[in-house]
Structure formats: structure tokens, C-alpha cells
Amino acid sequence: MNGSLEGRTYVVMGVANKRSIAWGIAQSLNKAGARLIFTYASERFEKPVRDLSNTLEGPESLFYECDVTDDEAINQTFAAIQQDVGVIHGLAHCIAFANRDELKGEYVDTSRDGFLTAHNISSYSLTAVARAAKPVMSDGGGIVTLTYLGGEKVVENYNVMGIAKASLDASVKYLANDLGKHQIRVNAISAGPIRTLSAKGIGDFNKILTEIEERAPLRRAVTQEEVGDTAFFLMSDLSRGVTGEIIHCDSGYNIVG
């Protein structure tokens, strides 16, 4: 048993730029020989994703637009993928969104609209995507999503995203139970803080990183490459007995009281 992904095809959703965790995952899968399929929220992001993928060696990548708030778009994307490649062996869901004004102040002030938006994009989308991917994963495989400690414990300013991640974490378990009989595994990576576009403009980010450097067992932040390699593990046969799991790739920070 080795971790080669040669001859396999994986969907990576959520590359915005070279700092995206999704890009770290794409690079790890590519190194293992996989063919990649990229999806992005709107046409506007097609060129940056194509430009990034041109830096990869190996099999040619494929590209599809897929706004995860739109069921029709999700169904059309996976129907097109099935038509174009036949079978996929895994999927990385690296998508989240909450209105910026809900990511400061107190959670108690979250609006109904803000709550529903965060849950729609950051949690429900995994279920919708897993359902559409299921028939295309006819050889089984691995679905991976990204979560954060703020779904397990209260983290200042994470607010409604924490509630959405708690819902996502529970979805991972229910989906793992439903899809296991098809040999489709569903797992999450709880990543430590990484400076991505989503994290941009968040006032206390430096303070959060300093805390990690001082208190996490490894005394340093994690990189997108480390999260990428964890995703590779979860999408390869090396993790064939693992499903419904939330693996922390966070320098061990979550264990410190």
C-alpha cells in the first residue's frame, strides 16, 4: 500500500489564490500524481485558478464554475464532470463565508440573514456537494472538508462561523454514515490559523498567531502545505479505515487548556 494517486482524479473546490488552503491541497495531490478538477464560485475567478494550475506538472487540470449556493449549479457541475472524466476518487471542500460584520462583536447580535448565509455556504454546501458527487465516486474514495476549533470551543470574533462549523462537523459524521456503504469516506481537517484571503482584514489575526507560537505544542503555526499533506492522507488509500473523523492539523493547539 502506498500513497500514489496516479490514474486518479480529485475535485478541489475553493482556490481563491496561492494562499488558499485549497491550493495547498491541490499541490499535495498533484505531487502524488493525481489529475485535478478545480471549481470556483464565479467566472471572475476562472483566470486566476487557471494561471495557478499552469504552474503544476503532470496531468492537465479541468475547470468548472460552481456557486455552492445554487443546487442547479452543483448538479450541473457534477453531471459535466461525470460526462468529461467518468469517475472521481475524492473531493476537497474548502469553502466558507460569513458576512464580515458578523465576525466581530458578540455572537448574540447575529442576524437571521447572517446566520442563514453562513450556514448555507459553510455547512449545507458540503451535504449538497456530497450528494451530487456520490454517483461520480463509483469506485469509492475520500471527501474532505475544512473546519476550525471555533466550532468546538468559543473563539473570540469567530461568532456565527463557529456555529456553522459545529454544524459542518456534525454533517461530516452523518455523511460518513450514509456514504460509507458506498466506500466513500468523509472526514474533516481542523486547521490552525493560516493567513489566507478569508483571514484578511481580521484585526486580531496577529494576536492569534502569537498565541499559537507561544502555547501550541509545536510552538509554531501550521502551513498550507501541512494541511495539504493531511488532506492527501485522507484522500489516499493510506487512510482507508478512517471515516467520520476530525483531524486537527494545528500544531497541537487544541489539546492545550
Question: Does 198 engage in binding with ligand NDP (CB under 6 A)?
Answer: yes
Using left for φ > 0, alpha for ψ between -120 and 50, and beta otherwise, residue 219 falls in: left
Q: Which of 153, 157, 151 is nearest to 169 (CA)?
A: 151
Minimum distance between the CB of residue 12 and ligand NDP, rounded to whole angstroms? 10
Question: Does 186 engage in binding with ligand NDP (CB under 6 A)?
Answer: no
Question: Does 103 engage in binding with ligand N5H (CB under 6 A)?
Answer: yes
Question: Does 98 engage in binding with ligand N5H (CB under 6 A)?
Answer: yes
- Which part of the chain contacts ligand N5H (CB under 6 A), choosing from 30-38, 68-76, 81-89, 191-199? 191-199
Question: Does 144 engage in binding with ligand N5H (CB under 6 A)?
Answer: no
Question: Does 148 engage in binding with ligand NDP (CB under 6 A)?
Answer: yes
Which residue of the set 10, 64, 148, 253 is catalytic?
Answer: 148
Which residue of the set 10, 124, 158, 253 is catalytic?
Answer: 158
Q: Active site includes 40?
A: no
Given candidates 81, 92, 96, 118, which one binds ligand NDP under the rule CB under 6 A?
A: 96
Amino acid identity for residue 35 in this structure: R
Which residue carries 474532505 as its cell?
144
Question: Does 166 engage in binding with ligand N5H (CB under 6 A)?
Answer: no
Phi, psi of 59 (to 5 degrees): -60, 145
Instruction: Show which residues are catalytic.
Output: 148, 158
Residues that bind ligand NDP (CB under 6 A): 14-16, 20-22, 40-41, 45, 67-69, 94-97, 121, 146, 148, 191, 193-194, 196-199
